[in-house]
Chains A and B, each alone.
Chain A
C-alpha cells in the first residue's frame, strides 16, 4: 500500500468535501474512513483513479454520517465494487485547507497540529509523538481545533503570511520520535510553492532548505550544540544549499522583498562561505538592516548586533547591543561572546555562566556552561 500516495491525496480530498459543503471535522472523519476502506480494498483491487475513488467513497461516508440515525448501521455495510470515479474539479482545494488550518481564530499550536493532520496527513499518534504528549491529549487538541474552524466558509483567499508562519513553526519543531517535522515542513512548503507563486513562499522554502542543509553539522556525536563557526562544513548538504540558493535567487529577482527572503539571504551568505573566516559579514549586516526594517523584530536586532561585531569589530557590536533591551532572550549570551572577542575573558566567563542559568533549552544551557568552563579553565592556566 502506497502510504505516501495516500498522504499526498488526503488534503485535496478533504478540500473537495469541504467545498461541497461538508464541515471540516465531518470531512476529515469521512476521509479517514475512506482511507481505512482504501487500505482494505486497494491491495486486491487497485483503483484506476485513486483520487476519484477516495472522493467518492469519502463523500459516501460523509452522507452516511449525516444520516445520523441510520449511519451506524450503514457504516458497517462495506463498499463492495469500485465506485465510479467522481468528478474532480480543477480548482485546487488543498490551498483552502492550508488557509483553514492556519485560520487566525486558532492558536499557533492548534494551527500547527491541524496542518500536520489535515494537510500533512500525519496520524494523531505521529503528531503526539513529535510533541511528546499522550495521543489522547493530542486527539483532544485536534478535535477542539476542528470545532473552532467548523463554521468557517471560504469565499476569499486566506492570508498567505499566516500559513507561512504556521509552516515555519512546524519546521522549527525539528524532530523527535519517528516523524521529522523539519522535513515534513519542507515537503508541505514545496507543495504550497508549486501551487502558488509568491515570493515569500519561495523565501521560506529557501530558508528551510538552507537551514536544513546545515543540520548534520549542528550537533556533535554527544548531542552537544556546535556553533556555526566551528561546524564541519564538509557535513553540509551541498545539494540542498544549491537548491535553496536557486529558489532564493528566483524569488529575489521578482523584487518583492519580505522577511523570509531576507532571512534566507543571510543563511545563503553563511552557506556560501567555505570557511567561517570567509563569511561576508558586511553583506550579512546589510541584510539584517533590511530584516530590521521589514520586521522591527528585537531578535533580528540582536542577531544584527552579532553580525556588526563580526563586520566592524566587537566594540561596535557591543555598542549596537547596548541599545537593546537586556531582557531579550540570548542577550547575555551575545554580550558574553562579544566581550570574549574584545579580549575580556573575565567578563565573558561571568556572562556565559549567567546566560547558562537563563537558557531556554538543555543543549543551549550545556553549551553556555561549557563556554564558561572553557574560559575559566584558561584563566586558571
Chain B
C-alpha cells in the first residue's frame, strides 16, 4: 500500500473543462456535487482506502523567517496571483494505477449542467518505507 495526496486547487491548476463558478449552478447541481464528494469519501472508507481529507478556506498567507529577533515576513493574505489549495484528501491504495483511477473519478464530480467538472487534481505520492523484501 502506498499513500497519495490528492490536491484540489482554487487557482494555480489548469482550468477545468466545465469551468463555471459554483454560485452560477442551479441549487440541485450544487447538491448533486456535494453528494458526489460525500459518496466518494464514504466509498473509499468502505474499501479501506481513505486516510483523511479536509477543505481549506480560500485565504492563505505566505510566511518567511526574516532573521534573528525580527518578526516573520508575511505576504498576503490576499495573494491573488498565487497557487492556492482548496482542499486535500489522502488515500492509501495498492498501486499508482489505482491512485490515478480514483483521482480521475473525483475529477468527474458533476458540475454545471449536471456534467462532470473535469477538474485537474494534483496527485502526489508520499515518501514512505521501502517495500519489504522477503527471502
Q: Write the residues of chain A forming the contact surface with B, with a CB cutoff of 8 angstroms.
A: 222-224, 349, 352-353, 356-360, 362, 365-366, 369-370, 372-374, 376-377
A222 touches B35 (CB 8 A): yes
B35 touches A372 (CB 8 A): no
A373 touches B38 (CB 8 A): no
A-B contact pairs, 12 of them (CB 8 A): A222-B35, A222-B38, A224-B34, A352-B23, A356-B23, A357-B58, A360-B57, A369-B22, A370-B30, A376-B23, A377-B26, A377-B27
Residues of A within 8 A of B59 (CB): 358
B55 touches A362 (CB 8 A): yes
User: B29 on the interface (CB 8 Å rule)?
Assistant: yes
A349 touches B34 (CB 8 A): no
Give chain A's interface secondary structure class: helix
Across the interface, B26 reaches (CB within 8 A) one of A353, A358, A365, A373, namely A373
Instruction: Please name the 3 residue pairs, one residue from A and one from B, whose CB atoms are nearest each other, closest first.
Output: A372-B23, A353-B23, A377-B26
A342 to B25 Cα, complex, angstroms: 23
How many A-B contacts at CB < 8 Å in the complex? Answer: 42
Give chain B's interface secondary structure class: helix
A52 to B21 Cα, complex, angstroms: 65
Residues of B within 8 A of A358 (CB): 57-59
User: B24 on the interface (CB 8 Å rule)?
Assistant: yes
Across the interface, B29 reaches (CB within 8 A) one of A223, A353, A365, A373, namely A373
A349 to B29 Cα, complex, angstroms: 17
B1-59 residues with Cβ-Cβ distance < 8 A to A are 21-27, 29-31, 34-35, 38, 55, 57-59
A369 touches B23 (CB 8 A): yes
Residues of A within 8 A of B24 (CB): 373, 376
**In the complex, what's the smallest C-beta–C-beta distance from B76 to chain A, in angstroms?**
14
Across the interface, A373 reaches (CB within 8 A) one of B23, B35, B55, B58, namely B23
Residues of A within 8 A of B35 (CB): 222
